[in-house]
Each structure stands twice: as structure tokens, then as C-alpha cells.
Structure 1
């Protein structure tokens, strides 16, 4: 069963901001592939939390999987969205549903990439998860494809 790759965002609440940023996901075999463009706010981070957790729950049923996320344009985000992201990683790790490997693609021309890279590295290390950042999709795929899946 292939989940929908473009689930609608929740209705806006007049007392909070609408989600800013974009992200979409689909599966390619045992790989969850995402494309994202910021800047990101906390409302999008909360929406993505549930979306990513749902994808991971479905994929882990059949064994190990990996995740590729390609950022385009901007990856700017503030401290609150980063905290939400950290909580999601801890949730994935705690529930045992995290991807076996995670590859982020942040090309040199992506706005905020030099700021986000260290934050991602710290967040994944704190959650005990395997993640690397690459300047190109080709490099990320080469790494993901070179590491055999462990059951």
C-alpha cells in the first residue's frame, strides 16, 4: 500500500500562523524520499511530524528502510521549529521506527544551509540516529546505496 505523497495541510487557525514552507514525500522501494523548501515555521514542523511518523510506521513494518531528503531554495527555520523537529527524531528513535540511514542534500546555494547543517548533526546525534549531509543528490544516493541494509 502506497500512502498519499501530498496530504493536505490542516485548516488554518486564525489565532496562529498558517504553515510556511513546503515538503512532499513518496516511496522508492525501501526509501522514503522527500523534497522540502523553506523557510519553515513551527506549524509546518508540527504537520510534518505526524506525516513523517505515519510514513515511518508504515515502512518499518517490512523491515529497515532509509530516507533521502533534498532541500531546495531555503532551509531557514527558527528555534521553535527546530525543537519540534528534535522531538520528532526522539519519537522516531523511541518508538523504534526511525529510518536506518538518513541522507540530507543541502547544496551550497541553499539559503541557510551552513546554519542548518550543524543543527541537524546535533539533533540526530542526540537522538542516536544515523544521518549525513551531502552537497548533491548523487553523493547522497551513492552513500545510501553503498551501505547494505541490516535487518
Structure 2
């Protein structure tokens, strides 16, 4: 049986190891954030990051918009500038459009009907005064790319 002093020593060692690991991972996270912020205006998508982003989109994963904004921070800035009160659901929908997903693809990935997607596009067209002759996905890209 382990004595009380030995148990206390083991507990202290475990706490120290946990603190060291926490500091290490915090430092790694800071480095990653710094790297992303340095590339905020010219993101070159790697095949892996783009594949992962599309997989998040196809599975309607809530992390999709977070990862998308990490890859394309100008996206959030551009639409917050256009509408400071923009909802997260609108940002997610606009991100799908930025990636040039069709109405049918967006409907499949978000588990809604094609008609629901089309209605959402029409509401956004009205909200942002987008003419019907302008392709919605191209408009989204222009807003971001010219910001």
C-alpha cells in the first residue's frame, strides 16, 4: 500500500505534468493564430484544408463557419461591414454561397428543401438590394474579394 506522502508526491507530479502540457499547447495555439493572422489577406488553400472545409460543410458541422472564417477572415469583416447585425445562420449560408455550392447542394447539406434555400437567397437579395440578373454566388465573392 502506498503511503500518504508517496500519494501526495505522485499527485503533485501529475499536476506539474498537466501544467507543463497546458502551457505547451497554449503556446502552440498562439503560434497557429499568429500564422493565420499573418495570412489573412492572401489565403492559399491547401488541398487538405479545402477538403476538410468541404467535409465540414457537407456534414452541416457547426465548426464549418468557424473554420471558414479562420481560412478567410476578410469574409467576416466584409459582411460585418455590410451589416453589423448579421446573424450566424446568414454567415453560414453566405459561406456556402462563397464556396459556389448550388441551391441543391446547400439544401442537401443543410437538410432543407431546395425551395427553402431559394427563399433564403431571395430574402438576402431583398435585404442587400441585389438585382435578380446578378448571380448570387458571384455577388458574395465580389463582396469579400473587393473588401
The structure whose residues are more often helix, as a share, is 2
Q: Which has the larger radius of gyration?
A: 2
Provide TM-score, normalisation by structure 2.
Answer: 0.29
Provide TM-score, normalisation by structure 1.
Answer: 0.29
The structure whose residues are more often strand, as a share, is 1
